[in-house]
Structure 1
Amino acid sequence: MLAKYGLAEFVSHRPLLRKISIPLTRSGGRLRPPRLVRESFAQRLRRALEELGPSFVKLGQILSDRADLLPKHVIHELQKLQDSVPPISAEEARNRVQEELGRSVDELFLMFYDEPEGAASLAQVHRAILPTGRTVAVKIKRPGIDDQIRADLEIMRTLAHFLDSRVKYFEVMSAVELVEEFSVQILKELDFVEEFLNLKKFADDYEDDSTVAVPYVYEEFTTHGLLVQEFMHAQRVSDVISGDDPRFDKKLINKRTADFVMAQLFINGFFHADPHPGNFLVLDGNIICFIDFGMVYSLRPHEQDNLNLMMAGLSRFDSTLVARSLLKLGRADAKVDTAVFQSAVHDYIELYLDRPIEYVDLPAALMELLQMVVSYGVRLPPRLVYVAKVLGSLQTIGKGLDPEFNLLEYLREFAPRIWANQFGSKRAANRVIDSAMAWGDAFLDAPDLIQNARRFFRDRRLQVDMPQADILSETVDRIGFRLSFGMVLSALLIASALMVHADVEPKVNGVPLFGIVGFAIGGVMGIAFLFVGVYSFFKHWQRHRRP
């Protein structure tokens, strides 16, 4: 296959293989390369992936999001890859439902529409009506796709090992690591229970948001190969953009979409990683709805913290904050010069962001930033790449809905919410509690450390002629205890305040119980601390009044 598409140079530098992969054909009495070889490397790579089948098409689609790994011209070509597979027959679809649920389609539904609503490489969707009268979307995994994907993954792993043994194509990632990352993602997409859990979490996160609709999913009909969810009677956002339906307020839809996406990325840290126009619906009342939750990512706490700081830094043109956040987000090569890296970030901000806002393309600028970071040997987590992709989709959809929309300007308006979440969330309260406990342990151990030091010097008969040494030792012990007590008390009060602010359960009269208990304990400790301080002061004062 590689030789057929002139890609042998991709896996070997041996001239013989190159010659095999670029055969000459006679045309008009002259030797000339065939049309295939006259195509660019990116075009030949796309055609090879299409011929290799659905698994390799999915790999190409995921690679098209990796601006940190591939050059722009290859990414643009891979973005043309489509799941062009014929749908399975209605009979096969009905058999798959019966295999998964143990009951026939006629027993489960009042009506099952044989014509699929959509078909892709992994699954296809049919409309059906439950006995309750509710219309549902039935997502059915293609028969045999699990075995096919796993077989293709083994081929990819073999090819990846072959590539890595000959040359390193990616600066911060081996081909084997790339295939393993793809394997994790596609196996998650094959398991519809994972998608069910994603839908449930989104429904919980946005239960109180009247501007967002999340399809209801039927747990009793959910298996690893079948997913039944509410059928959303809605318009695709692409139709809303191209149409002029008076029911829809495009600017309001855009504002709600931006709020929804930003909340996913910077508040909840749990986001839909494939919000292209086909997965984005609009209901009556300008209510927005995403579908297809197979590709969802959850940001780890330290990733979200540093992502928030990075985006806040970009909105303020703070190169120091951006550089520090990127280095904490990624896995840096030991040779990275922090000062040089920070200077590069400063130059990047001046070149791409520090200009009139109408000339700033934030998604493109983020992709440039990712490629610059990789060039310094910093490996970024894949989740960050998908954050950039989601922001790119938001910019594209936003411009369609509202030509005046600018993502960087919106980010600046949203930045206060990012900061508020950064310092007022439950996660922030947990960090304060952890820090307080660590400091508390350190200060509580201080008297023991002092006593151990005294024993050390005493056992070694180290003699120091110091008048009133006992008084000094007593004073040091007293100061250590007071510092320890004061730090623990301060940490307790701060943690209690954050718990109240974070609005955690359980509650008493609407106030978090843990916050009340913390303030109560802190109050008792504070009164005791004050009493001991006053008592010590009078004792010291009386001692010095004696003649």
Structure 2
Amino acid sequence: MKISSIPQLYRNFRRWQEILGILRRYGLADWLSQLKFDFIRDWIKDEQGVPLASYSREKRIRLALTELGPTFIKLGQVLSLRQDLIGPELASELTSLQTHVPADPAGKVREIICEELGAPVEELYAEFDGEAIASASIGQVHMARLHDGTPVVIKVQHADIQNKVHEDLEVMAGLATLADHIPEIAIWKPIVLVEQLSKSLRRELNFNRELQNLQLFRKLLHHLDGVLIPKPFPKLSTARVLTMELVHGVPINHLARKNQQGKFSEEARQELARRTANVYVEMIFTHGVYHADPHPGNILIGDIPGSSHQQLGLLDFGMVGRIDDRLRETIEEMMLAVASRDVSLLTTLIKRVGNPPPRLDDSILSIDVAELVATYGMQPLESFDLSGALNDVTEIMHRHQISLPPQTSLLIKMLITLEGTIRQLSPQFSLLEVMQPFFRKMWLKRLSPRRQIKRMRRIYLEFEGLLETLPGQISSVMQLVQEGRLDVHLAHKGLSPSVNRLVLGMLISAVFLGSSLLLAYKVPPLLFIEPTWLGIEKLSLFGILGYVLSLLAGIRLILAINRSGHLDRSDSD
């Protein structure tokens, strides 16, 4: 631990105690779950009296994060986007993480609004409902009405939430540094995940970003009839307060309930599903920016005044994803590879889009990709299981430790969530069927002269930059060679355990040899001055202790070598 981190550790000592206590309790429950004795497994229970050891490991992780509080719940939500790192099972469990934070009292909310907007609530709004209609980890939502009669909702941050998040992020950074030294956890890249969480939380703590996202999507989607993005009010918004238009409608998950099944016909539900899919596919493949949280509660179905059609209202633009041209081209090529059953091309694309480990086994990866193509390559378009295919791809990446860039993980997670949301409207609807025309358009754009000219221009600029810098770099290297200052650094991987065992073996041999000399020369203090059983006499005490020490260390060394599986030479060596 760095000396600079000691003040942070002292400042957050109580929070450290609380977090480590919760982690220890759930970690002990994980260990107890492996025992066969029920009376021992029932020692630790949750608030409802259910033994923690009876839950699955994934559910215990979710419960621990829930108990740790809002910041750790956000960590779980970020982890749920990284199926390539934690696997589909844990990612699926973490998607159910919910934040239940008590709402701040109305007086405190009025004080925050007045502090942020510089005027009392009564002057800013004609009506204000002090009772929150929703409360999440970062803020809470209140109903209000402007002086011109416009109904609005006000999103207000919780009091002191920024200090709490900052404290938890400091503690989390310390935990990530410790976890990075544990091989089983280090493969999850905890430091990178905490950095990603910090960026995400800082964005969510600034409501100005969400205001900008609302303005952006209203501009991009204004031409789509029946799609409503809440109108923000910049003069009544700051980094901690966001005022936006009230959107009327019923969330999609409410329409999936039994008492709502007959509200729309199957044809109407399919039409709503198709319109929803078209909106998101256009955002992804036309504009390159998309609403990244198509949760069923974030899509409202409402009536359009004077029309028999329904409108789609999109809520919560705190999380937005972006897709660049190169990622878009890679997705196109992946779809083509699956359709043409080209295992070699798909394997290459998976390695290109991800970050493969140095010791990746290409042959085993190709076998897994071939099974994936065999499973999904022949599925008809109308019944193609897009969520299953994306989950299997991320499971393959997790198995081979191929990590994805955050934006790619976010896109995959968004598509899986979107398909699940749409199927609550119409279980028979295929998202890929809507995406197919966009793929055709993208291929035509890709083959267009304008696109080729743009691509050649990019390649030319990159090549021109290389030509400009290459002579200077070669000259620098030659200068170092002439001055004799060129150093070659060799890094070894996986040799530390072998070197440690070699040194330990040499120490054991030295102790054994030294103990033999002590016994041979009868170096005092001596045991058994008089002859005893089998004629044993005058044994050096230090010699016996050395024998015992070398024996125990030798057994420990043999067990360590045996656990690594390299005690004997294998056939492959």
| Shared fold per TM-score greater than 0.5 | yes
Aligned to 1:276: 295
Inter-CA distance 191–351: structure 2 relative to 1 (3 Å threshold): same
Aligned pair partner of 2:87 in 67, 71, 79? 71
Partner of 1:487: none
- Equivalent AA in structure 2 for residue 399 of structure 1: R
Q: Does 1:108 align with 2:127?
A: no
Q: 1:22 to 1:351 in 2, by over 3 A?
A: closer
- How far 1:327 sits from its partner (Å)? 2.5
Q: Provide the residue aligned with 1:125 in structure 2.
A: 141
* CA distance, structure 2, for counterparts of residue 24 and residue 104 of structure 1: 63
User: 1:146 aligns to what?
Assistant: 162
Aligned match of 1:213: 228
Cα displacement (A) at 1:297: 1.5
Could you tell which deviates more after superposition, 349-358 or 364-373? Answer: 349-358
Alignment partner of 1:115: what SS?
coil
Q: Does 1:260 align with 2:279?
A: yes
1:63-462 paired onto structure 2 within 5 Å: 63-169=79-185, 171=187, 173-242=188-257, 243=260, 244-245=262-263, 249-284=268-303, 285-336=309-360, 341-356=365-380, 360-423=384-447, 430-435=454-459
Task: Name the structure 1 match of 2:13.
Answer: none
8 Å CA contact 2:226–2:311 kept in 1: the answer is yes
Question: How far 1:345 moved relative to its partner?
Answer: 2.1
Separation in 2 of the partners of 1:303 and 1:186?
A: 25
| 1:163/1:334 CA distance change after superposition, 3 Å | closer
Q: Secondary structure at the match of 2:86?
A: coil
Q: Distance in 2 between matches of 1:145 and 1:425?
A: 52
Preserved CA contact (<8 Å) 2:294 2:421: no
Deviation of 1:346 after TM superposition, in Å, equals 2.8
**Whole-Å Cα distance in 2 between the matches of residues 433 and 395 of structure 1?**
37
- C-alpha separation between the residues in 2 aligned to 1:436 and 1:3? 54
Q: Is the 8 A contact 1:272 1:297 kept in 2?
A: yes
For the 8 Å contact 2:86–2:398, the answer to whether it is kept is no
Instruction: Report if the CA contact (8 A) 1:109-1:129 is conserved.
Output: yes
Deviation at residue 151 of structure 1 after TM alignment: 0.5
Q: Is contact 2:84–2:401 with CA below 8 Å preserved after alignment?
A: no
Q: Does the Cα contact within 8 Å between 1:282 and 1:288 map onto a contact in 2?
A: yes
After superposition, the Cα gap between the structure-2 partners of 1:26 and 1:37, relative to the gap in structure 1 and judged at 3 Å, is: closer
State whether residues 172 and 194 of structure 2, in contact with CA within 8 Å, keep that contact through their aligned partners in structure 1. Answer: yes
Unaligned runs of 5+ in 1: 11-17, 444-547
Which residue number corresponds to residue 558 of structure 2? Answer: none
Label 1:31 to 1:279 Cα distance change in 2 as closer, same or farther (>3 A): closer
Deviation (angstroms), 1:156: 0.7
Instruction: Determine if contact 2:300/2:314 at 8 Å carries over to the other structure.
Output: yes
Residues 94-121 of structure 1: CA deviation (Å, up to 9, x unaligned): 1111111011110001111122221111
Deviations 1:24-64 (A, max 9, x none): 9996xx89644233433223222221221111112122222
Of 39, 48, 58, the residue aligned with 1:42 is 58
Aligned to 1:293, what secondary structure does the other structure show? coil
> What residue in structure 2 maps to residue 516 of structure 1?
none
- For the Cα contact (< 8 Å) 2:226–2:312, is it kept in 1? yes
1:87 Cα deviation after fit:
1.2
For residues 207-258 of structure 1, the C-alpha deviation after alignment (integer angstroms, 9 at most, x for no partner) is 2222422111111122110111111122222234442335992222111111
Amino acid at match of 2:143: R
Distance 2:302 2:209 in 1: 26
Q: Which has the higher contact order (CA 8 A, sep 6+)?
A: 2
- Counterpart-to-counterpart distance in 2, 1:429 and 1:127: 52
How far apart, in 2, do the equivalents of 1:421 and 1:123 lie?
Answer: 43
The 1:26/1:211 distance shift into structure 2, 3 A limit, reads closer
- Secondary structure of the residue aligned to 1:408 is helix
Q: Read off the aligned partner of 2:228 and give its amino acid letter.
A: A
The AA in structure 2 aligned to 1:276 is H
How big is each residue's C-alpha offset from its partner over 1:338-386, in whole Å with a ceiling of 9 and x where there is no partner? Answer: 5764453233111244345576421122111012124334321122222
User: Which stretches in structure 2 are left out of the alignment for 5+ residues?
Assistant: 1-20, 45-50, 304-308, 468-573
CA contact (8 A) 2:382 2:429 kept: no
Q: How far apart are 1:291 and its partner, in Å?
A: 0.7
8 Å contact 2:301–2:310 — kept in the other structure?
yes
Is 1:54 the counterpart of 2:70? The answer is yes
Over 3 Å counting, the alpha-carbon distance change for 1:438 and 1:283 in structure 2 is same
For residues 308 and 419 of structure 1, what CA distance do their matches in structure 2 show?
8
> What letter corresponds to residue 417 of structure 2 in structure 1?
S
Q: 1:229 is matched by which residue type in structure 2?
A: M
- Read off the aligned partner of 1:273 and give its amino acid letter: A
Aligned counterparts, 1:482-497, within 5 A = none
- What is the alpha-carbon distance in structure 2 between the residues aligned to residue 183 and residue 442 of structure 1? 35
| Counterpart residue number, 1:499 | none
What TM-score results when the alignment is normalised by the length of structure 2? Answer: 0.68
SS in 2 for 1:331: coil
Kindly indicate whether the alpha-carbon contact (under 8 Å) linking 1:308 and 1:422 is maintained by their aligned counterparts in 2.
no
- Between the aligned partners of 1:235 and 1:425, the Cα distance in structure 2 is 46
Q: Secondary structure at the match of 1:297?
A: strand
Q: Is the 8 A contact 2:343 2:366 kept in 1?
A: yes
RMSD: 3.3
Offset at 1:437? 6.2
Alpha-carbon displacement from aligned partner over 1:169-190 (angstroms, at most 9, x marks no partner) = 254x411111111111111111
With 78-87 and 175-184 compared, the bigger mean Cα shift is at: 78-87
Q: Does 1:7 align with 2:7?
A: no
Q: Name the counterpart of 2:537.
A: none
Supply the AA of the counterpart residue of 2:86: L
1:74 Cα deviation from its structure 2 partner: 2.6
What TM-score, normalized by structure 1, do the two folds share? Answer: 0.71
Between 216-225 and 339-348, report the one with greater CA deviation: 339-348
Q: 1:225 is matched by which residue type in structure 2? A: R
Separation in 1 of the partners of 2:360 and 2:133?
Answer: 51
Q: Do the aligned partners of 2:338 and 2:376 also contact (CA within 8 Å) in 1?
A: no
Alignment partner of 1:86: what SS? coil
Task: Give the C-alpha shift of residue 195 in structure 1.
Answer: 0.8
Contact 2:42 2:53 in 1 (8 A): no
For 2:25, give the aligned amino acid.
Y
Q: 1:38 to 1:404 in 2, by over 3 A?
A: closer
Pair 1:354–1:89, CA change in 2 (3 A): same
Amino acid at match of 2:271: L
SS at match of 1:204: helix
How far apart, CA to CA, are the structure 2 residues paired with 1:222 and 1:250?
Answer: 36
* Most deviating of 153-162 and 247-256: 247-256
